[in-house]
Structure 1
Amino acid sequence: MNREELQMLGFEIVAYAGDARSSLMKLLHEVRHGNFDHVEDYLKEADENLKRAHNAQTKALSEEASGNNLDIGFIFVHGQDHLMTTILLQEIIQDFVELYKEKYNK
């Protein structure tokens, strides 16, 4: 895998993680206002995008595990950063959903 291909994977990871983050933030906005109608939809949407981002990441991991030395640039690192922070956000927002359910007794 050359540097350009790795950069494209980085962009792919950023895009999918960004879409997941957007879904999670919409979800948080909804539950703050007591609306729990679309919780599962938003969580599923975020999870699907995180899986896509993770699959892109796995391509690079597989390359390196196969013994190929990767020329990792900032774009790929930026993608990794987006992915990991969005996974953390997902975990935190799932806790917030439960807390807001308790608050609104749903």
Structure 2
Amino acid sequence: MDSEKLYEIAFQIIVHAGESRSLSSEAMDKAEKYDFEGAKESLDKANEEFLACHQIQTDLLTAEANREKNEINIILIHAQDHLTMAITAMENAKRFMNLYEKLSKMEGK
């Protein structure tokens, strides 16, 4: 795969992972306001964006497993960081949503 194509792929991962992370943050904001339906909707969208970038990563891994060598560059490494942050943000959003749901029950809301 040529360098230009690899840069394009890396930026696709960054875009999807960034959107996933933003939507996860949005889900936490909604949960904080006890808008659990809205929070779940935002988290579902975050998961869709995550799955899109995860598929791109899986395609790269599959190509590598099929002995198609890819040039590793700093942008691709940066993209992998964004993917990791998106995963962490989704996990944190789920935990915060559970916490706020428990808190809302304790407060009787």
**TM-score higher than 0.5 here?**
yes
Q: 1:6–1:60: 8 Å Cα contact kept in structure 2? A: no
2:82 matched residue in structure 1? 82
Cα RMSD of the aligned pairs, angstroms, is 1.2
2:14 matched residue in structure 1? 14
Count residues in correspondence.
106
1:68 matched residue in structure 2? 68
Equivalence map 1:26-45=2 (5 Å) = 26-45=26-45
Gap regions ≥5 residues in structure 1: none
User: Per-residue CA shift, 1:26-56, capped at 9, x if unaligned?
Assistant: 1111111222231221111001000100111
Instruction: State the SS of the aligned residue for 2:67.
Output: coil
Gap regions ≥5 residues in structure 2: none
If the length of structure 1 is used for normalisation, what is the TM-score?
0.93
Please tell me the residue identity of whatever aligns with 2:18: G
If the length of structure 2 is used for normalisation, what is the TM-score?
0.90
* Superposition misfits of 4+ residues, deviation over 6 angstroms: none
2:92 matched residue in structure 1? 92
Q: CA separation in 1, counterparts of 2:36 and 2:44?
A: 14
Identity of aligned residues (%): 30
Q: CA separation in 2, counterparts of 1:69 and 1:27?
A: 38
Instruction: State the SS of the aligned residue for 1:34.
Output: coil
